[in-house]
Structure 1
Amino acid sequence: MKPVDFDDAETYEPDDGWRRVSMAGSDQFSFEWFEKPPGHSSPMHDHENEQVCLCLEGELTVATEDDDVTLERFDSVLLESNEAHRVENTGDELAVGLDVFAPGRSFDFWTDGDD
């Protein structure tokens, strides 16, 4: 067993108010808790990992090159491997979500400039 204490977990803050926390995972899958302030959007990007984005609080709009969907509390969306996308907080309050990646990944995706 490999527990992860949220307060001690690896954290990455790509932009002011956009925080990601690395939760328990492995090479096969990883979990990243995140929060986004109103109006914040990640850049359009893609990665080899399949991704499930789950909205825990607030409102998140996930856009691909062909479509977009707005997630509310407990809604989720699957993004295929190499599917270009961005995630935006389109609500008026802080949005909180959980990303699941398969295979697992680290924050190197953002810090090494692979986006």
Structure 2
Amino acid sequence: MDIVRQSDAETYEPDEGWERRALAGSNEFSFEWFTKPPGHSSPMHDHENEQVCLVLEGELTLHSEDGSSETLERYDSAHVESWETHAVENTGDEMAVGLDVFAPGRSFDFWTDRDDE
């Protein structure tokens, strides 16, 4: 059994207020708890991992490469296929909190070793 306490989790802050914490997981899947301030958006990106995004507080809008968008509210979730280009934006007025699940699992290297396009 692998226990990861929130207070001890590996953390990464890609931008001010956008915090990610690596929770218990494996090479098969990983969990990342995150906060995203109002108005913040990740860049458009894709990855080999399938992703499920669950909104715990606030709202998040997922944008697709084709220009479509869907807004998720508290306890809504979305599945993002492998290599599906997307961005996640906090379009609400309060801090958003969410949980991302990735399969296969990944580390923060996805963001830290990434070349911005």
Identify the TM-score tier after normalising by the shorter chain. Answer: over 0.9
Amino acid at match of 2:114: G
Task: Name the structure 2 match of 1:52.
Answer: 52
Q: 1:85-113 CA deviation, whole Å, 9 max, x = no partner?
A: 00000000000000000000000000001
Aligned residues: 115
State, as a whole percentage, how many aligned pairs show the same letter: 75
**Gapped regions of structure 2 (runs ≥ 5):** none
Question: Is the aligned partner of 1:42 residue 2:42?
Answer: yes
- Distance in 2 (alpha carbons) for counterparts of 1:8 and 1:77: 27
Question: Is the aligned partner of 1:8 residue 2:8?
Answer: yes
**Gapped regions of structure 1 (runs ≥ 5):** none
Normalised to the residue count of structure 2, the TM-score between the two structures is 0.96
- Distance in 2 (alpha carbons) for counterparts of 1:18 and 1:28: 25
Give 3-state SS (helix, strand or coil) of 1:109's partner.
Answer: helix
- Distance in 2 (alpha carbons) for counterparts of 1:14 and 1:63: 19
The 5-angstrom pairing of residues 22-101 of structure 1 reads: 22-66=22-66, 67-101=68-102
Normalised to the residue count of structure 1, the TM-score between the two structures is 0.98
- Which aligned segments of 4 or more residues in structure 1 are displaced greater than 3 angstroms? none
Using a 3 Å threshold, how does the CA distance of structure 1 residues 76 and 114 change in structure 2: closer, same or farther? farther
